[in-house]
Every structure is written in C-alpha cells, then in structure tokens.
Amino acid sequence: MTRALASPLGWRGAAIIAGVAAAALALVPALAGDFTLHMLTTSCYYTILAASWNLLAGFTGQFSLAHQAFAAIGAYTSGLLIRYFAVPIWFGITSGVLVAALFGYALGRMVLSMRAIYLAIATWAFAETIHIVLAAAYPITRGELGLDVPPLFRNLDPLSYYYLFAALAFVSVLAMYAMVRSPLGQFMRAIKDDELRAESLGVDTTRVKIVVFTVSSAFAGLAGAFYAHYVVVLSPQLADFNEMAKLIIMVVLGGLGSVAGPLIGATPVQVLITWLQKYGEWDMVIFALAVIVLMRTHAGGINSLIQRLALASGRIGADRT
C-alpha cells in the first residue's frame, strides 16, 4: 500500500489534474489584487525550484544543498551578459540555463561519488562559494548594492508576469513529471531505494545521477534567469542558504519524493513567509516547528496526509454501500 501511495499518477490522472490546475491558474487574476499576484508569481518561481530539487533529493536520493546557487548562476549570467555585452534578453536567459546546467554537470562529476552527509557538505561549500563570489566581486556584480537588469516587459504589470511564470511553472512541472514516468525515472527510484542493488542489476548509477543533477540545475537556472528580469535588481541573497532552507521546507511539507509535493508546499509556504515577515527571523522558527510536527505525524508530508484521508473516506463510503 505504501508503494501504491508513493507511485506517480497515471497519464490520465495527470491530464485531469493538469487541466484543473491550468483552469485555476487562469482564473486567479479575476479574484486577486496586485500584491497577491506578486506573491503567486514568486510562488511559481519557487515551485520550479522546489520541483527540480525534488527530482534530485526526492526521487534519486541525492541530498544537494546547492540548488539555490544554480538559480543565482542563471540569474547573474543573464544579467551580466545583458549589462556588459548588450545581448538580447532571450539570449541572456538561454545562456543562464546553459551555464547553470554546465556548472551542475561539473559539480555532479566531482561530488556525486560521495554519499549522505559528505555530498551535502560538498554541495553546501559550492553554494557558499558562489554566494561569497557574488558578494565580493563588486566591480562586476555590484555586490550587495545590486545588479540592475532590464525587465521582461516594458512595464512591471503583475498580471503579465503572473501569466508568464504560471505557464513556465506549468510546463516545467509537466516536463519533470514526464521525466519521472520515463525509464530514467525508474532508474532514479532504483538508486534511491538501493544504489548498490541498482548497480548490481546493471544500472549506471553515476551516469544517471549526473544526468539528473544536470537537468535539475538547468531547471533552477531557468527559474533564476526569468526571475532576474522580474525583480530587475539582483543581489547575492539569491544564493543565500536561507533560500535553500526555504526550498527544503517547501518540499518536505508538501511531500518529499512525490510529484505533487512541491506543488502543494511551495505556494502556502511562500505566502506564509511573506505574511510572517513582520516577525523577522521567527518565520523560519515557526516553519521548523511545523516541519517537526508534520514529520512526527505524517512523514510523507501534506501529500501523504491527503492520500490517507482520501483512502479513509473511500473505505467509509464502501462500508456504507
């Protein structure tokens, strides 16, 4: 039963959910103001980051702490190319994705032979290095003063950006779902369940992990490159570890290792963090307590809780008939 609950939805179920999600995303602007649209746009950015990190940690079992760094790489690559070489925005964004993927491939080749805490420490060190470089290279990146980049649209109308980021998140998540449902996805889950057994069955585990790491980094770079032209001022804060902690909370609360987990967790967490900003650093304390309570009661996160409630209601309905 646990395996059934954790397995991906079929294509028919995914199509139904995708249709409902698309309709909901299209109807939101009719009910939301500008500030709410801004929060939802930012939530779409974090949804892509959370879903792509879940590919690596949730489905492949590789606990990286560098995901926010790849978003920063994508953002700064686009911003710096436009600032210093006056390239078109689309070229800057494409370059940001490619450079993030290249860094992901290079880092994966170096660290994915490590396991558990050693992999986490190595990727954390890489992320901190990127953070320090972005802050210290003031003549190039403008450091903490911020790097100005042009917006995607001529104005900062939140509705246009909301539709863009909603579509971007929708397509990205569908692409990741297709990846999970593919033969590569089966290899990913085999590595997570038992890497040594997967190797004994002929799976090239190192190659699979590097491919997933590279793809995951590319999606992070994609989100970061587009986000750069939404916030229009970049700071090293993009690569701060607090961003990584936020992603972990989103995925774990939603359901680590499930397709729906990041979708369930990203928006509520981002909305609550925005609302809790008036309490300063206490927002992370509150979320840490929420994660502890949820993990003690439902280790699979909100997604597992919803599935169990649905299963229980189905049993009650069957008993009544």
Each residue of 171-187: pLDDT tens digit? 999 999 999 999 999 99
Residue 250 domain-assigned (yes or no): no
Residue 38 domain-assigned (yes or no): yes
Higher pLDDT, residue 259 or 122: 122
Question: Residue 153 in contact with residue 161, Cβ under 8 Å?
Answer: yes
Report the pLDDT averaged over residues 43-62.
94
What span, in angstroms and rounded, lies between the C-alpha atoms of 39 and 51?
18
- Distance, C-alpha 219 to centroid of its chain: 8
Higher pLDDT, residue 213 or 274: 213
Which residues have a Cβ under 8 Å from the Cβ of 291 and sit 6 or more positions away?
Answer: 249, 252, 253
Task: Mark residue 8 as left, alpha or beta (left: phi above 0; alpha: psi -120 to 50; beta: remaining).
Answer: beta
Among 302, 148, 144, 112, CA closest to 238: 144
Report the pLDDT averaged over residues 145-156.
89
Phi and psi torsions of 233, nearest 5°: -135, 120
Report the pLDDT averaged over residues 249-270.
87
Q: What average pLDDT does the chain have?
A: 86
Residue 253 domain-assigned (yes or no): no
Report the pLDDT averaged over residues 87-95.
96
Phi and psi torsions of 239, nearest 5°: -100, 10
Distance set, CA 288 to CA 3, 50, 218, 284, 295 (Å): 28, 17, 28, 6, 11
State the total domains in the chain: 1
Residue 142 domain-assigned (yes or no): yes
Write 2-10 long-range contacts (CB < 8 A, 24+).
Answer: 5/300, 5/304, 5/307, 5/308, 5/311, 6/257, 6/258, 6/300, 8/177, 8/180, 8/181, 8/185, 8/259, 9/259
Write out the E strands in 57-173.
147-148
Residue 217 domain-assigned (yes or no): yes
Whether pLDDT at 200 is above 80: yes
* Highest mean pLDDT (candidates 10-24, 78-92, 142-156): 78-92
Q: What is the pLDDT of residues 92-111, one digit of tens each?
A: 999 999 999 999 999 999 99
Report the pLDDT averaged over residues 242-266.
88
Residue type, 140: I
Q: Which pTM does this prediction carry? A: 0.89
| pLDDT value at residue 121 | 94
Residue 267 domain-assigned (yes or no): no
- Alpha carbons within 13 A on the beta-carbon side of 12: 0
Question: Residue 303 in contact with residue 50, Cβ under 8 Å?
Answer: no
What span, in angstroms and rounded, lies between the C-alpha atoms of 213 and 215?
6
Report the pLDDT averaged over residues 196-219.
94
Domain that residue 21 falls in: 10-239
Report the pLDDT averaged over residues 236-261.
89
Residue 166 domain-assigned (yes or no): yes
Residue 119 domain-assigned (yes or no): yes
Whether pLDDT at 31 is above 60: yes
Report the pLDDT averaged over residues 115-123.
90
| pLDDT value at residue 158 | 87
